[in-house]
Structure 1
Amino acid sequence: MIKAIKACKEWECVQPSLHKSPQLMLIHPPPPRAPANSIVCYTDAAWKSNRQTAGLPWIFTDHNGTELSRGSCLCEYVSSPLLAEALAIRCALLQASRHQYNQIWLRSDSQGLVTAINSNRRPMELFGVLADVDSIVASSFSFLLFLLLSFPIVLMGQPTVWLKPAYL
């Protein structure tokens, strides 16, 4: 049996590469450009399960990608990464309101969160935070669009990985 398995593996190794599955390369289109009068807000979250703590950073840019401002906060008693992402959006929108930005294109890499917001379905875990987001949006913004980033975006020559706070 061992001899047969070894012979089979040897046979597979010498087969032409035409029989091997081609490698798929995913090409992601760039996200749509924001209108000239809009602010783009990138949010992210870093969550530490053992501490139930989250770092919540955000960056505001103009439609050309020039950084306008950035901020972050640390939140304790955060039960999941999804909740951390929602809290990051809430913090960013509060900051946008303070800056009197009234047209926001919000970009997040959290598919579950963007889907929940865009579909108006509220998982129980996010209900309170997303109710806060709705309230902030209703009182402060004339336009708000949530977009999902399915790949790392580059700002100021750096991938958004640097959004992850180092203090966690």
Structure 2
Amino acid sequence: MINLPPSGLAQVPLFPWLLWNLWKSINQALFEEKFFSEEETLLKSIREAISWKEAQSRRKIPEPVRESQATAPLSPESICCYVDAAWIEAFGDCEMGWHFTQANNVSFAQQSTHHDHVASALAAEALAVKNALFDALARGIRKLHVFSDCKVLISLLNSRKSTVELRGLLLDIRELDGSFIKLSFMFIPHVRNGLADTLVKSGLLPVNNASLAEV
């Protein structure tokens, strides 16, 4: 899908942001009786896409490094995404990081971001996966293998089960699934998720590492 560049979007695809805000508008109309016009939804999507684009230009990206891949039957044309998160229990904040690799197992794109008001370490991991999926769609990736060292989350995603705490996040992730041609979730040990872990910790340098929690 080719987008015209409204308000300076340029090469940033608008479709993922429209999809996300349409889904939120439907939920708010159904469950909160809040209604938004088409114009409001479109403007909100454009604002969020521009904010995402500006965040990419401000973020200092670490040098790419090689990363070991989990043993699994992977499609050669698919992209792998390694995701990690750390939760700052004292403040209820989290830092998230992910990177994409091609068939040659070399990272070609990386990202980390911060999020406030996160309920738990498990919620932080789920939020990281959701953000990584949005990033993949914005980059035009439609075949993706997602790797995480959070065994509980991967089990929930693959079994399509849910919890009260993660219900909204898991629903969002499953809705995003429909935008991919192929999407899978796989568990890897923490020691094999090194670059994603580095991206997370690089965003938390001012924070005492003793306050971090991972699952």
With normalisation by structure 1, the TM-score equals: 0.75
Distance 1:92 1:160 in 2: 11
Aligned partner of 1:105 among 141, 145, 156: 145
Deviation by residue 1:48-96 (Cα, 9 ceiling, x = unmatched): 0001000010000102211120111101000110000000000000000
Contact 1:53-1:78 within 8 A present in 2 as well = yes
Q: How far has the Cα of 1:151 moved from its partner?
A: 4.4
Aligned partner of 1:150 among 189, 192, 205: 189
| 1:135 has 2:171 as partner | no
Contact 1:33-1:63 within 8 A present in 2 as well = no
Higher Rg of the two aligned structures: 1
Code of the residue aligned with 2:184 in structure 1: it is L
SS at match of 1:41: strand
Q: How far has the Cα of 1:159 moved from its partner?
A: 5.5
Segments of 4+ moved more than 2 angstroms:
158-161, 163-168
> Are the structure 2 counterparts of residues 54 and 107 from structure 1 closer, same or farther at C-alpha, using a change threshold of 3 Å?
same
List alignment gaps of at least 5 residues for structure 2: 1-68, 205-215
Q: Which residue of 1 aligns with 2:93?
A: 53
Query: Over the residues paired in the alignment, what is the CA RMSD in angstroms?
Result: 1.8
| 1:164 has 2:203 as partner | no
Identity of matched residues, %: 29
Within-5 A mapping of 1:14-163: 30-32=70-72, 34-138=74-178, 140-153=179-192, 160-163=196-199
Q: How far has the Cα of 1:161 moved from its partner?
A: 3.5
> Are the structure 2 counterparts of residues 160 and 92 from structure 1 closer, same or farther at C-alpha, using a change threshold of 3 Å?
closer
With normalisation by structure 2, the TM-score equals: 0.59
Distance 1:86 1:159 in 2: 18
**Which is helix-richer, 1 or 2?**
2
Most deviating of 30-39 and 46-55: 30-39
Distance 1:111 1:143 in 2: 21
List alignment gaps of at least 5 residues for structure 1: 1-28
